[in-house]
């Protein structure tokens, strides 16, 4: 699967999960868990995940990026927990500042 396919497929899945599961809008770990569960059900009926199946899973970073794009850029399924909204705002400001600060090394 190429990058375009991976992100497109992941976006469709993330949007569907966030549409139906409010907890997934507020917690990337839960969202990742839901994505992995859904994909495992597509390919297997077992809890054990063979490596061949694991390889088909999108990365945590892809899931997180897709969630941010859906919520921040497209305005879909926004976070509902005020604490999560505040933490994300604080972290975003920190990361922006950190990203442009020269390294002291």
Q: Flag whether 105 is in a domain.
A: no
Q: Does residue 60 contact residue 32 with C-beta atoms inside 8 Å? A: yes
Q: Which has more confidence, 21 or 60?
A: 21
Q: Flag whether 95 is in a domain.
A: yes
Residue labelled with tokens 């500042």: 97
Strands (E), the chain: none
> Domain limits at 44?
3-100
pTM over 0.75: no
Residue % of the chain over a pLDDT of 90: 42
Q: What local confidence, expressed as pLDDT, does residue 5 receive?
A: 80
Q: How many domains does the chain have?
A: 1
Q: Flag whether 62 is in a domain.
A: yes
């Amino acid at each position: 699967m190429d990058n375009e396919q991976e992100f497109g497929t992941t976006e469709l899945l993330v949007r569907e999960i966030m549409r139906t599961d409010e907890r997934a809008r507020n917690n990337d770990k839960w969202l990742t868990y839901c994505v992995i569960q859904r994909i495992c059900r597509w390919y297997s009926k077992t809890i054990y995940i063979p490596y061949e199946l694991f390889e088909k899973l999108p990365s945590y970073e892809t899931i997180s990026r897709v969630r941010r794009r859906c919520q921040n850029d497209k305005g879909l399924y926004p976070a509902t927990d005020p604490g999560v909204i505040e933490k994300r705002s604080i972290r975003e400001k920190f990361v922006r500042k950190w990203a442009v600060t020269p390294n002291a090394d």
